[in-house]
Structure 1
Amino acid sequence: MTEVPSMHYLLSFLKYLLCLMTFFICWQPFNWHHPGISHSKRKLLQSLMGPYGPLSVSYNGKTCILFKAKRLAIRYRNHTFIDLTERVFNPNSPVDTKGSICTKEKATLSLKFGDVEDLRGLVIRLQMSNTFYEAAGQNWFTLDSVHIHYNWTQEATFNASEVYAPATSSYHCQHVSSLHKYDTLLVPSSHTDTSANWHITFTDFQIQAFNVQSDKFASASDCATFLTPAILMGLVTSLILLLVLAYALHMVVHLKHIDRYEEHKATVYFPRSPEAELPDKNSLVLLKVLLLFSTGREKKERELHSEMERKKRGYF
C-alpha cells in the first residue's frame, strides 16, 4: 500500500497531541511534589503564597465561627480590586472581630478593617442563620447576606440565598462572588442602593458558624457541580481526540478499500468494428499504383539489359 502524505501528517499530528496531553497531565503532580524542592523551601513558598490557617472567632469564651479564604478582594465601581487577605488572616496583623455574635439560631461574622486606602471605617459582615427543615429532618445553616459598611454611614448589601450546608458541616466553594463569571452567588439586594457599585469575591471560601467542636472545620459540603471547568476541558479534549482517531481510522479503511479495488480491476477491452479492420479504399488505389509503377520499371530494366547484351555480341 502506497503511503499517502496527508495520512503521514495526520499521524504525526496525533502523536504530537498525545505527547502534549501527557505532558500537561503529568506536569501538575510533579510540580506539586518535585523531589528537588526541600521541605523548608516548600514551607517558604507556602508562607509567601498562602493560604493561612482559618480565622477562629470566639464568643463568650467559646469558638463559634471558623472562616477561611485564599483571597478576599473588594472593588468599588471601576477602581482596582483591594486585596484584604493579609489583613484578615495574617497573625501579625489580625482583623478586629469583636463585633461578631453567635447564638443557636443566628451568627454574625464581623471583620473591622478601619481605614483602607480611600475607604474610611471599612467593615464587612456576614449574616448567617441556623434553621430546622422538616423535609430534610435536620438543621441547615445559610449565609443570608454580606454587608459592606464604609465611610461610616454608607452600606452595600448582597443576598446569598444559594450558600447553605447542613448545620453539622462546613460550607466550601471555590468562588463566592458578586461577579457573573463566578456564578454570582452574591446578588446585590437592590439596584437603587450602592451595592450595585460594589464587587466582592471570596476565593477558596470555607466557613462554619454552628456546631464548631474545635479549631478544625467539620466535613465540608461543597458547592462544586459535576461539570467544573477542569472536567469540561477534559471532556472537550477527549472529544477532539476521539474525532481525530475516528478520522484516522476512516482514512486507513478507505485506503485499504482502494487497494483492494485496484487488485481486482479487470482489463478494459474496446471492441473494433469489422469496417475498421478493412483497409481504406484510398490505400488500395495507392497500393495498385505502386505495383504498376514497379512492374513497368522492371519491364524497362529487362529491355535495357537485353539491348546491352545484343550490342556486346555484335548483332547491330
Structure 2
Amino acid sequence: MCRCCDADGFGRERRRVSYDHGSLFTADEMRLPLQPHDWRPQLSRRKLLQYGGIMPYSPLNVVYNGKTCILFRARKLAIRYRNHTLVDLTLRVFGPDAIVDTRGSFCSKDKAILNIRFGDVEEIRGLAIRLQMSNTFYESAGQNWFTLDSVHIHYNWTHEATFNATDVYAPSTNSYHCQHVSSLQKYDTLLVPSSVTDNAAHWHITFTDFQIQAFNVHSNKFSSATDCATFFTPAILMGLITSLILLLVLAYALHMVVHLKHIDRYEEHKTTVYFPRSTEAENTDKNNL
C-alpha cells in the first residue's frame, strides 16, 4: 500500500490511498460513517439462520493478499438508469463462464471494499459497482458488527451515483442475507440516495436474494446468516390480531352458553309462591256474591 498527497484548486492537500489492486480512493471515502451515539444493532429484530436456499450460482470469492476475505452472491442483480431498459448483470458476475474483474477490492480488519468492474454494458461505458463495508465494536452489544455503509455506481468513466445503506448489518462472525436490497420503495428502500442532488436519484439498483460476508471468512463458506426479515412481519402481525379477535369471540360465546345453562337451572328449581288470604278478604268476597 502506498500513500500520496496532491493539492486541489484551492491549494489544500487531499490525501488519497492506493491499494495493491491499483484502485484509487480518497481518504474521505474510507472514513467510517458516523452513527448516532446511542445507536446499537437491533439483534432482537433479526432472525439468525443457516441459509439453506438453493442458489443457481456459486458465490463470488474475492481474494486479497492470497486469502479469501469477501463472499458475495445474489440470485439477481439488476440496474436501471432513468427510463432506460433494465440491465441484468447477474450472469456477468455469477455465470459459470463469467470472468469477474474485482480489481480495487480491499480487505482489512475494520474495512472492506468489494469492487466489481463490468466495462461497457450496452450504452453504459466503464460501469463498475462498489460496496463499502466496515467492522466496528459496539460496547452495548458486546461484540463486533459489520455494516454495509454505501453502494456506488461508477459509469461513463467520470460519473458516480452513491447510495447510503440503511439497516444492513450483522455480527462480524455471521453473514448477512436479505430477500431484497434495493433502492425501490416496494422493497423497503434499503438503499437511499446520499443526497437530493446526487446522481443516484436517476438510478435504480436491486439485489435479489442478497448475501454477503466481508469479515471472518473461513473455508470459503458463508457463516450462519443474519436475515433482514423481522420476527413480526406485517403478515405475522395480521395473523396475531385475527387470532386474538377469534379468541375473544370464542370466549364471549362460551360465556353466553354458561350463562344460559345457569338460567335454565334456576328455572327448574323455582317454586310457586302461595300467599294465604285473610278472613276479612274472604268475607268481603262472600258479601259481594
Written as runs of structure 1 = structure 2, the 5 A alignment for 1:186-205 is: 186-205=191-210
- Residues of 2 paired with 1:145 and 1:225: CA distance? 22
Higher-strand-fraction structure: 2
Q: Does 1:227 align with 2:239?
A: no
The TM-score normalised by the length of structure 1 is: 0.59
Written as runs of structure 1 = structure 2, the 5 A alignment for 1:134-145 is: 134-145=139-150
Give secondary structure in 1 for the equivalent of 2:201: helix
**Residue in 2 aligned with 1:54?**
59
Match of 1:153 among 132, 136, 158: 158
Greater Rg over alpha carbons, structure: 1
Q: Give unpaired runs (5+ residues) of structure 1.
A: 1-45, 250-316
1:79 Cα offset (Å): 2.1
Amino acid at match of 2:90: T
- Residues of 2 paired with 1:236 and 1:166: CA distance? 32
Mark the CA change 1:133 to 1:236 in structure 2 (over 3 Å): closer, same or farther. Answer: closer
Cα deviation, 1:286-314, whole Å, max 9, x if unaligned, reads xxxxxxxxxxxxxxxxxxxxxxxxxxxxx
- Residues of 1 paired with 2:239 and 2:127: CA distance? 42
1:81 Cα offset (Å): 1.8
RMSD: 3.8
**Residue in 1 aligned with 2:113?**
108
Amino acid at match of 1:83: D
The TM-score normalised by the length of structure 2 is: 0.64
Give secondary structure in 1 for the equivalent of 2:93: helix
Question: Structure 1 residue runs of 4+, over 4 Å off?
Answer: 232-246
The percentage of counterpart residues that share the same residue type is 78
Written as runs of structure 1 = structure 2, the 5 A alignment for 1:34-73 is: 51-73=56-78
Written as runs of structure 1 = structure 2, the 5 A alignment for 1:159-178 is: 159-178=164-183
Q: Give unpaired runs (5+ residues) of structure 2.
A: 1-53, 255-289
**Residue in 1 aligned with 2:131?**
126
Higher-helix-fraction structure: 1
- Residues of 2 paired with 1:82 and 1:192: CA distance? 23
1:88 Cα offset (Å): 0.9
Q: Does 1:75 align with 2:75?
A: no
- Residues of 2 paired with 1:67 and 1:204: CA distance? 11
Give secondary structure in 2 for the equivalent of 1:181: helix
Written as runs of structure 1 = structure 2, the 5 A alignment for 1:10-21 is: none
Q: Does 1:89 align with 2:94?
A: yes
1:237 Cα offset (Å): 7.9
Match of 2:217 among 212, 220, 225: 212
Written as runs of structure 1 = structure 2, the 5 A alignment for 1:261-280 is: none
Cα deviation, 1:219-250, whole Å, max 9, x if unaligned, reads 1111101233654675688689889999xx9x
